[in-house]
Amino acid sequence: MTHQLTHHTGGDAPEPDPYDNRRQVLYWRLLARLFDPEEQAGLESASLAVVEDIGLPSALLDPGASVDSVVQRHPELAAEFDGLMAPEPEEDGTRDRAAEVRRAALASKVLLNVFASRPGTVTAEQLARWQSDAGWLERALGCRPGELRGGRGGTHRMGAGGGVSPTGTGVGGPTPDLSRLIPAIGPELGSIEGDLVRRMHLREVLADPRLASRLTPSMSLVEQLLRDKNNLSGVALANAKALIRRYVDEVTEVLRTQVEKATVGELDRSVPPKRVFRNLDLDRTIWKNLTNWDPEEERLYVDRLYYRHTSRRTTPQRLIVVVDQSGSMVDSMVNCTILASIFAGLPKVDVHLIAYDTQALDLTPWAHDPFETLLRTQLGGGTDGTVAMQLAQPKIAEPRNTVVVWISDFYEWRHQELFDSMAAVHRSGAKFIPVGSVTSSGRGSVNPWFRERFKDLGTPVISGHIKKLVHELKTFLT
């Protein structure tokens, strides 16, 4: 490396900045290995010198070593990966240059393992390793493993106020605004994972219980399993169902937590509060009776007790969820099927579920069980929302107590006819919620023709994180 970055120290002659030089060496090596798997001897030797000089293991430079294997041999590094790429600024505004070099070495390892190209057929072991490395990248970005790739917040290993990784380190705190850090990284991770799944001989893997046990369920894997389920039988089909069930259970746990945390309905003040001690509003009782204070006796005489309202509106509500099951909407299909089942478990909520492509399917009898629902879907095909509307409209018996959630990218071939029927539902008094995407990443394409007309109708399209839809539904239904 003959080129060096320099900085001025106040005189005329610039002096080399050793910290910038070290970071430059590490990042140039990262870029070289991403675009060309053949190693560059000069960059490799220079990077090795940097890594050893700052006290990190040389295994960080081994492309064949997973992050798990590095952490198993050097467990003290596990905590350093948490929030590695979303560091908190120093309180005094200064920069810890040595720490920046160390972070560059660790970040380079994670990025290379996740984004390096992998030609040819993919084995179950290679997919499992990539999924683990991707989990470390998500942790480095301040998220939970699986959170960016498809909505699994990892709550099966999360405790209150944070999580515990397989190595025993905590992952907590709010998820950072990744749109400023690395735009749309979640969909890109999902795309890489999907490509690995497609290049794996999945049917052969599923037929071998030992290999199938190494698979970690993910959105990409579930999508492939749902598309191929009719071609599976015996042990392979049983293993596929087990993987789908595991994924559904994980996402259900995450979404149920979001539903429970969402805003609940308004207090129903038309119902008198129950006059029991636990509902006694002590502060209000004292305030309202202050005029009865006897200064000589230093005693407050209470004429009336005040109680808090705790009753909430319990009018039965009907939720009709219509989901586009065409090829571009798989993520939304999975998430909304699970979400519908959660709301189906709430009291006083009557849930109906319809899936469509060029034909519509009423999945209401299985709405309470997302696993059974997904097994009955047929992913792919074209899109004709008018056939779904023919099933949905007769279900709107009491418009004022009905919410219709329509999830699609709205690329329809009978667009005017469909929009006119949607506008009629809105004018009837039902709450109509068009949704462009319900994914963990929030990325989704929506037909601009529909987007503008929904905006003019006063029902703008919800596009973004599934939490937005959860909030809308919880506010209306409870």
Q: Per residue in 300-350, pLDDT tens?
A: 888 888 877 554 444 558 889 998 887 666 777 787 888 888 888 777 788
Helix residue ranges per DSSP H, 353-399: 370-375, 385-392
Among 465, 432, 413, 458, smallest CA distance to 322 is for: 432
Say what the pLDDT of residue 2 is.
Answer: 41
CB 340 within 8 A of CB 410: no
- Cα distances from 330 to residues 178, 208, 357, in angstroms, run 23, 27, 12
> What residues have CB less than 8 Å from 400, skipping those under 6 apart?
429, 430
Say what the pLDDT of residue 402 is.
Answer: 92
Domains of the chain, CATH where assigned? 1-117 (no CATH), 269-311 (no CATH), 317-477 (3.40.50.410)
* DSSP labels, 174-185: PPP-HHHHSTTH
CA 395 – CA 35 distance, rounded (Å): 55
Say what the pLDDT of residue 349 is.
Answer: 82
> Mean pLDDT per segment of 10 residues, for the chain of length 478 residues?
44 66 91 84 91 91 89 90 79 79 92 88 85 90 77 38 32 46 67 84 89 85 83 90 88 74 50 63 82 84 76 65 78 79 80 90 90 81 87 92 89 90 94 78 74 92 74 70
CA 133 – CA 113 distance, rounded (Å): 7
- Cα distances from 275 to residues 278, 303, 310, in angstroms, run 9, 15, 11
CB 432 within 8 A of CB 462: no
Say what the pLDDT of residue 464 is.
Answer: 60
Q: Per residue in 122-143, pLDDT tens?
A: 888 888 889 889 989 988 988 8
CA 213 – CA 206 distance, rounded (Å): 9
The strand ranges marked E within 94-232 are: 158-159, 162-164, 170-171
Say what the pLDDT of residue 57 is.
Answer: 92
Say what the pLDDT of residue 278 is.
Answer: 66
Say what the pLDDT of residue 317 is.
Answer: 83
Say what the pLDDT of residue 314 is.
Answer: 46
Burial of 342 (0-12, 13-18, 19+ CB in 10 A): buried
